[in-house]
Amino acid sequence: MTGTAALRVLHVSQPTTEGVARTVVDLAREQTAQGWDVSVACPPHGDLPGEASAVGAEVLRWEASRNPGPTVVDESVRLARVIRAARPDLVHLHSAKAGLAGRLALRSGLPTVYQPHAWSFLAVRGPLRAASLLWERRALRWTDRVICVSQSECEQGVRAGLRLDGRTVVVPNGVDVERFQPGDRDAARARLGVGSGPLAVCVGRLSRQKGQDVLFDAWPAVLGAVPDARLVLVGDGPDREELLARAPEGSRLVGRADPLDWYVAADVVVLPSRWEGMALVPLEAAACGRSVVVTDVAGAREAVAPGARSAVVPPEDAAALTAALAARLRDRRSADEEGELGRRHVSQHHDVRRTAGRVMEVYRQTLEERTRRGGRSRARR
């Protein structure tokens, strides 16, 4: 964002792994490159503290659990102390817990940008869902801007009764297309110790959200159609033990790892999510020139190249997932052609540098609006 005065920005995030953490690091990298003073408040575990520090951000310790509960009051108090120490011009809250604790701590005291990365009420059911939705509606009064990562995520919020007009900006997720590039499949497989047969890879947190259980339901039928196919799950999470216990033939879990080699090694990358905002995994895989199969949740159709719409299947539909995977595992050439389409789409629409520039423009608009309203726009003197 050339020509804009350097700002002091505080990103607040819980979780510290997977897509949200990668988004925070990518934004911090681009903002520090602009000469901005960037801090990241997060718990001390996971990838985020080390990676944020490596790109030049100051890391501030904020103890917080991932799930909502009675600890949120203490978490909000601790975060208020961190914010006072950081003295930012603007606070960018990432995901549900930071959005909850951060808005309770700030209550419009500073310009506040909230990025849900998928709405909190989608992850829960019953009374907890109703409470989460009520909170999201009421917390908008303490939110200058909401950044949705896809148009469909924004539409989900509106359908749920959130009054988003005038405060919501859609900034599609982006990935580092200089890091995630096509590579030598055989060399990647040699490094990983993977054979030459058809390979499907699923990267993501092992959780109900990501739908690995549905993938396991589909896999025996995939093997029936492509007997030498193999499936690898890359990631960790609360469902690890359950998934290990029911892992079907021809599949394995490798735990958390850098996904780059796994993308390059794959014939197809699959993400059978139950909900998302706009998942990074399909974008990263496509940037590596790999075919992707995703479920028709928020952001999916916006992330997948227009010529590869058949790769979007209904959520929790094991039969549709089977058909899409089998077709790509049987025909590597066609899958790779689809991957080339995906690479062009991501390069044109989802380069993280473009995303970061749009986010920084949101900051500028937020601060200007605060100034016009006579509100507080700077925390330091």
The answer to whether residues 246 and 198 belong to one domain is yes
In this structure, the answer to whether residues 195 and 150 fall within a common structural domain is: no
Q: Is the pLDDT of residue 282 over 50?
A: yes
Residue 309 has pLDDT above 80, yes or no: no
Are residues 251 and 313 both part of a single domain?
yes
Check if the beta carbon of residue 94 is closer than 8 Å to that of residue 27: no
Is the Cα torsion angle 239, 245, 249, 252 positive or negative in sign? Answer: positive
Average pLDDT over residues 321-341: 96
pLDDT at 3 over 50: no
pLDDT surpasses 70 at 363: yes
Residues 242 and 358 in one domain: no
- Output the pLDDT for position 358: 97
Q: Are 32 and 57 in contact (CB under 8 A)?
A: yes
326 and 202 in a common domain: yes
Do 305 and 368 share a domain, yes or no? Answer: no
Q: Is 195 found in the same domain as 295?
A: yes
Q: Residue 70 pLDDT > 90, yes or no?
A: no
202 belongs to a structural domain: yes
Same domain, 195 and 335: yes
Classify residue 380: in a domain, yes or no: no
3-class state of residue 149 by DSSP: coil
Q: Mean per-residue pLDDT for 51-60?
A: 98
Q: In terms of domains, do 137 and 264 share one?
A: no
For residue 307, give both structure tokens. Answer: 């010529």
10 Å Cβ neighbour count for 145?
A: 22
The total number of structural domains in the chain stands at: 2
Query: In the predicted model, is pLDDT for residue 359 greater than 90?
Result: yes
Structural domain harbouring 35: 8-174+352-373
Average pLDDT over residues 79-106: 97
Q: Kindly report whether the global pTM for this prediction surpasses the value 0.85.
A: yes
Whether 381 maps to a domain, the answer reads: no
Q: What is the pLDDT of residues 196-233, one digit of tens each?
A: 999 999 999 999 999 999 999 999 999 999 999 999 99
Q: Residues 132-150: pLDDT tens digits?
A: 999 999 999 999 999 999 9
Same domain, 154 and 291: no
Domain with residue 239: its CATH number is 3.40.50.2000
In a domain, 345, yes or no: yes
pLDDT at 375: 54
- 381 band by pLDDT with thresholds 50, 70 and 90: very low
Same-domain pairing of 23 and 113: yes
Position 44 scores a pLDDT of 97
Q: Is 205 left (phi over 0), alpha (psi -120 to 50) or beta?
A: beta
24 within 8 A of 94, measured Cβ to Cβ: yes
Q: Are residues 144 and 268 in the same domain?
A: no
